[in-house]
Amino acid sequence: MAYFDHAATTPMLPEAIEAMTKALSTTGNASSLHTSGRRARRAVEEAREDIADALGARPSEIIFTSGGTESDNLAVKGVYWSRRTDRRRRVVASGVEHHAVLDTVQWLVEHEGAEVTWLEPDRHGRITPEALADALGDDVALVTAMWANNEVGTVNPVRELAALAAGRGIPFHTDAVQAVGAVPVDFTESGASALTLTGHKLGGPYGVGVLLLGRDVATTPLLHGGGQERDVRSGTLDVPAVVALAAAVRHATTEQLARVDELAALRDELVASVRRVVPDVVLNGDPVHRLPGNAHLTFPGCEGDSLLMLLDAKGIECSTGSACTAGVAQPSHVLLAMGVDPVAARGSLRFSLGHTSTAAEVRELAEAIGPVVERARTAGIAGMKRLKAEV
Amino acid sequence: MRVLAAMSGGVDSAVAAARAVEAGHDVTGVHLALSAKPGTLRTGARGCCTVEDARDARRAADVLGIPFYVWDFAERFTEDVVEDFVAEYAAGRTPNPCLRCNERIKFEALLDKAIGLGFDAVCTGHYARLSTASGRVELRRSADDGKDQSYVLASLTHEQLSHAMFPLGGSTKPEVRAEAAARGLQVAEKPDSHDICFIPDGDTRGFLTKRLGEQPGLLVDDETGAVLGKHVGVHEFTIGQRKGLGIDAPAPDGRPRYVLSLEPVSGTVRVGAAEKLAVTEIVAARPVTRIDFDGPVECVAQVRAHGGLAPAVAEVVGGELLVHLREPLSGVAPGQAVAVYRPDAAGDLVLASATISSAG
Q: How many residues does chain A have?
A: 391
Residue B284: partners with Cβ closer than 8 Å, 6 or more residues away: B320, B321, B322, B323, B337, B338, B354, B355, B356, B357
Catalytic residue positions of B, numbered: 101, 197
Domain, as residue range, for B269? 214-274
Average pLDDT, chain B: 90
CB A235 within 8 A of CB A226: yes
pLDDT, tens digit, 9 for 90 and up, residues B17-62: 999 999 999 999 999 988 765 544 333 334 445 778 889 999 999 9
CA-based torsion, B302, B303, B308, B311: positive or negative: negative
Min Cα–Cα distance to chain A from B168, Å: 27
Min Cα–Cα distance to chain A from B26, Å: 11
Which CATH number belongs to the domain containing residue B223 in this structure? 2.30.30.280
pLDDT above 80 (res B14): yes
Total H helices, total E strands in chain A? 14, 12
Answer yes or no: is the ipTM higher than 0.90: no
For residue A78, name the pLDDT band (cuts at 50, 70, 90). very high
Q: How many domains does chain B have?
A: 3
Beta bridge partners of A174: A195
In chain B, alpha helices (H): 11-22, 51-64, 74-77, 83-90, 97-101, 110-116, 158-161, 173-182, 204-212
Query: What pLDDT is attached to residue B52?
Result: 84
Claim to verify: residue B256 and residue B161 sit in the same structural domain: no
Least confident residue range of A29-33, A378-382, B4-8: A378-382
pLDDT, tens digit, 9 for 90 and up, residues A276-294: 999 999 999 999 999 999 9
Query: What pLDDT is attached to residue B202?
Result: 84
Claim to verify: residue B72 and residue B164 sit in the same structural domain: yes
**Residue closest to B156 by CA, chosen among B358, B354, B357, B341:** B354
The nearest alpha carbon in chain B to A372 belongs to B117
Claim to verify: residue B306 and residue B262 sit in the same structural domain: no
CATH 3.30.40.10 fits A2-7+259-379, yes or no: no
B116 touches chain A (CB under 8 A): yes
Query: What pLDDT is attached to residue B306?
Result: 87
Which one has a higher pLDDT value, A388 or A182?
A: A182
pTM of the model: 0.89
B73 touches chain A (CB under 8 A): yes
CA-based torsion, B78, B84, B87, B89: positive or negative: negative
Which one has a higher pLDDT value, B325 or B91?
A: B325
Interface of B with A in 41-60 (CB under 8 A): 51, 54, 58
Query: What pLDDT is attached to residue A382?
Result: 52
Claim to verify: residue B39 and residue B141 sit in the same structural domain: yes
Claim to verify: residue B106 and residue B168 sit in the same structural domain: yes
Residues of chain A with CATH 3.40.640.10: 15-255
pLDDT above 80 (res B250): no
Rounded Cα distance between B188 and B176, Å, is 8
Q: What's the mean pLDDT in B158-181? A: 96
Q: Is B195 among the domain residues?
A: no
Least confident residue range of B52-61, B262-271, B302-311: B262-271
Q: How many residues does chain B have?
A: 360
Catalytic residue from among A33, A288, A324, A326: A324
Query: What pLDDT is attached to residue B49?
Result: 53
Claim to verify: residue B183 and residue B64 sit in the same structural domain: yes
Rounded Cα distance between A210 and A185, Å, is 14
A375 touches chain B (CB under 8 A): yes
B113 touches chain A (CB under 8 A): yes
Query: What pLDDT is attached to residue B9?
Result: 93
pLDDT above 90 (res B274): no
Q: Is B202 among the domain residues?
A: no
Strands (E) across chain A are located at 2-3, 62-65, 90-94, 115-119, 140-144, 172-175, 194-198, 209-213, 282-284, 294-298, 316-317, 348-352
Claim to verify: residue B146 and residue B251 sit in the same structural domain: no
> Does A327 sit within 8 Å of B54, measured CB to CB?
yes
Give the angle subtended at the CA of A350 by the CAs of A345 and A354, to the nearest 5°.
Answer: 165
Rounded Cα distance between B297 and B315, Å, is 6
pLDDT above 70 covers what percent of chain A? 95
Rounded Cα distance between A238 and B85, Å, is 54
Q: How far is CA B266 from CA A237, A334, B217, B259, B357, in A?
A: 72, 50, 7, 16, 18
**Residue closest to A205 by CA, chosen among A319, A75, A67:** A67
- The DSSP 8-state label assigned to residue A6 in this structure reads T
- The DSSP 8-state label assigned to residue B65 in this structure reads T
Claim to verify: residue B61 and residue B181 sit in the same structural domain: yes
Q: What's the mean pLDDT in B107-123? A: 96
CB B234 within 8 A of CB B77: no
Claim to verify: residue B72 and residue B178 sit in the same structural domain: yes
Query: What pLDDT is attached to residue B136?
Result: 84
Q: Which fold has domain A15-255?
A: Aspartate Aminotransferase; domain 2 (3.40.640)
CA-based torsion, A52, A58, A59, A60: positive or negative: negative
> Does A382 sit within 8 Å of B69, measured CB to CB?
no
* Closest by Cβ to A380, choosing from B67, B73, B116: B116
Q: How many CB pairs under 8 A join A and B?
A: 69
A258 touches chain B (CB under 8 A): no
* Closest by Cβ to A312, choosing from B58, B67, B70: B67
Which CATH number belongs to the domain containing residue B348 in this structure? 2.40.30.10
Claim to verify: residue B258 and residue B282 sit in the same structural domain: no
A chain contacts of residue B75, beta-carbon cutoff 8 Å:
382-383
